[in-house]
Structure 1
Amino acid sequence: MTRTQLKEHPYRPHLAVIKEIIQETPTIRTFRLTWKDPAVSAHFSFQPGQVGQLSAFGVGESTFVINSPPTRREYLQFSVMRTGEVTRALHQLNVGDTVGVRAPLGNSFPYTSMKGRDILFIGGGIGMAPLRTLLLTMIDNRADFGDITVIYGARSPEDLCYRYEFDAWRAARVNLVLTVDREFPGWTERVGFVPTILAEEAPNPYNRVAITCGPPIMIKFVLAGLRELGYEDDQIYTTLERRMKCGIGLCGRCNIGGTYVCVDGPVFSGTALRAMPPEL
């Protein structure tokens, strides 16, 4: 997996302009950005799973996954859930405003090693963001992969992100299984918690890679469910968010034992998770 750090002026962000804002859910907004400096735009590259620090000037910065794929370079996309001071400030910005971006940071999904295999994505709520970048990269290289199944759930239909893309995913031969926690008027897809739907679908682990992201409690039960279905640790990947602040391994806020999520992650295999301290 790629491990990247900014090499010059690690705390200095590049400037980007908000070109579009999408209201995904009542508390989540997606920002599509373009670089102010053409030289940055020409040389910027990243891999699926890497993150960036997004700045609201005068307030602070926070870490978000880059959830546009590297195969589509017309903009850089971040989805932001309103949870604190920085995210509230970002939600108050408008198209045309300037933000700061320090990216790419962290490692990435081992994309090339997944070629020729079946793929299982399991997402919950905003956890679909890091999965989206890998999913779209695979869709843009669809012939390189076998079956692609996405199990995606949220508390309610309005809490599902990227609803406007679901038809395009299905058109790309993605088996999309949607679920919400309880019955809602007009909802015709599945009902139940994501780990329950995973057990019901029971995707065969043979030649398959499973990638999951969502609330920590969901990830915990999904990992247990995958292992019960026969998935080995080296077939499983997830992403972790843990108090990331500096993004370059200096402040020490995101450490789990000797592992720093901001530079050794945010992508971890099941094997790596097994080696981490019980505090995880």
Structure 2
Amino acid sequence: SKWAIVRNAFSQNAYLNYTFCRFTPDGRSLIVQNLSDDIRIFHISPEGVLSQTGQVKGLRGNITSLAFSPDGKHVLTTHHGQNMRYWDLATGKVVHELPRLGAARYCKSCFINPKGTQALGCDGGQLILYELQSGRPIQRMKVSDTWTCPVAIAPDGRRVLVVVLASRLVMWQTLTGMASPPTEGSGYIYSVRFSPDGKYLILTRERQLEVWDADQLRLVEKFAASGGSISDVMAIAPDNKHVALVSGVGCDTLQVFRIPDSGR
């Protein structure tokens, strides 16, 4: 296989029930959240060893996605059942909140433009354009008839991937409002992410992780992680070669996978 486990970063009793993880833009650190809503920041050594360097408390609600400001000092996060939040990474202080569409709806994916002036949020049913500094909604676009499905916004903000019928993929072009035909598929999709270069999609099903070509919506590779079940907690490093994945029956194992150079 082209995929190899670099390191099982945590043992079964070290940091149970992961709910979120994401690499920092430089790929040197990993942001992790657990069921207690604690956010911890870990440095990743060249050998794959993780050591805690920071911790943020007080941000209630499980994080579902995260986008960094251009300077890397602030982050925009979407939360299960709550508004999006724009906050200081060093202190955890919330600068302001971006409103959701209704009491029962919340954004699952977010994006900040390169200038740091606007943000996108998607709840699976609508794509919303916000003015970042004020949190004011500017424009909306319908992308699905349901808001419960997994979604992902491309790194350049020009495409939105929406999972329909629990197992099929549809790609929307944000500038034209055009959508691709749904792919064929079987097996419930828990989560989906774009690679940082926008070329690939990484998605998780119940017992396997899949790599898709984002332009052609074509399956490239799939593999099963150790520990049995795979959760929806997954992150892709900026180098496009590493994936952090939570697996195990109790979502208690954090693994970092590496794709060796393969000409892709």
> What's the TM-score, normalizing by structure 1?
0.31
Of structures 1 and 2, the larger Rg is shown by 1
Greater per-residue helix proportion: 1
TM-score by length of 2: 0.32
Which structure is higher in strand share? 2
Work out which structure has the larger RCO, using CA pairs closer than 8 Å and 6 or more positions apart in sequence. Answer: 1
